[in-house]
Amino acid sequence: MSKIFVLGGTGFLGYYTIKELLSRGYQVKTIALPPLPKEDLLPAEVECHLGNMNDLSDTEIRDLLKDCEGFIYAAGADERTTPQKPAMKFFYEANVLPTQRIARLAKEVGIKKFVLFGSYFAEFAERLPEYHLRNQAYPNTRLLQEEVAFAEGEGSMTVTSLRLPYIFGTMPGRMPLWKMFTDQIKGRPVFPALKGGTTMVTVEQVAEAAVGAMEKDKHRHTYAIAALNMTFQDFYQMMVDALGQTETTQVPVVDYEQMRPMYEEMDRKAAENGLEHGIHMAVMSKLQTEDLYIEPAETMVALGIKEHDVIKSIKETLNKCVTPS
């Protein structure tokens, strides 16, 4: 029986990845930031260490990893973070440098398979070059994060990356991140949408993809996973419905040029306050005029991702956001 190390095992993605690993007969070890979101969150058979892996010495990390065959990197900063300028420096230090160090140490102790949780903004930086997303801090550093992990693995460790889209599901002790969006809509008579759409998955599918990618064992391979494509208007309407505002909030599709001054003002105000978005709001909004869709069949069969009821998962997630217990 192989032992797999999951970085961030008490987070949303790490928690479900551990559940999937256990269901397939793997042993699991993890480290996660304290405190536990729920005291008995993980089964007793999971070897759980509380702390910040980045604070450990190289020797301490080697000791932690030396009995493991695989590593799943379910940690890091995402595009919802608005750091101090320059954002490139923040995301480089939050995502790239720790990944490079841990991948190097993992290879040194003999780990054979390394799976990185990345972002679908890296995918669209390649698919939509006209948006110059490589010049934006978050997509740029997500691509770089993959490259340094691939490079560290050369010769003895298989490294693959999952490019993750919108993800839905709930877990004990944590509020879904989607609450920040339902809070924005709460009480508003109009919440406009741009004409594009996005791809979506359930958190269970992310976990299945992670284990599938590890077992597939294809070095330098990236997987942009998907299960359901939906317009932004339809998604916002689902949030409106969850809030009980179906009769009081309209979700019209508006022209990008009509909205652009507002997003440019958001970028200007961020800069005024010494902040910078990982993807500038004017760029992000323009990107949302595109159908950021991915064909599910591209990865579902390859990684053994099962069919899940994504709509049901979205509704359960949004219901928890608006009626927390």
| Paired tokens of 307 | 């069919």
Kindly provide the residue ranges of all beta strands, DSSP E only, lying in the chain, ordered along the sequence. Answer: 3-7, 27-32, 47-50, 70-73, 113-119, 158-164, 166-168, 197-202, 221-224, 228-231, 291-292
Question: What was the pLDDT predicted at 254?
Answer: 97
| Paired tokens of 53 | 């892996």
| Paired tokens of 100 | 């490079």
**What is 64-107 written as a DSSP string?**
HHTT-SEEEE-----TT---BSPHHHHHIIIIIHHHHHHHHHHH
Question: What was the pLDDT predicted at 38?
Answer: 87
Question: What was the pLDDT predicted at 298?
Answer: 86
> Across the strands, what pairs with 224?
163
**Length reported for the chain:** 325
Query: In 3D, which of 116, 169, 120, 171 has the Cα closest to residue 145?
Result: 116
Question: What was the pLDDT predicted at 324?
Answer: 67
Question: What was the pLDDT predicted at 1?
Answer: 62
Helix (H) or strand (E) holding 293: none
User: What dihedral do alpha carbons 230, 289, 209, 17 form, nearest 10°?
Assistant: -90
Question: What was the pLDDT predicted at 317?
Answer: 98
Q: Are 32 and 9 in contact (CB under 8 A)?
A: yes
Which stretches of the chain drop beneath a pLDDT of 70? 1, 324-325
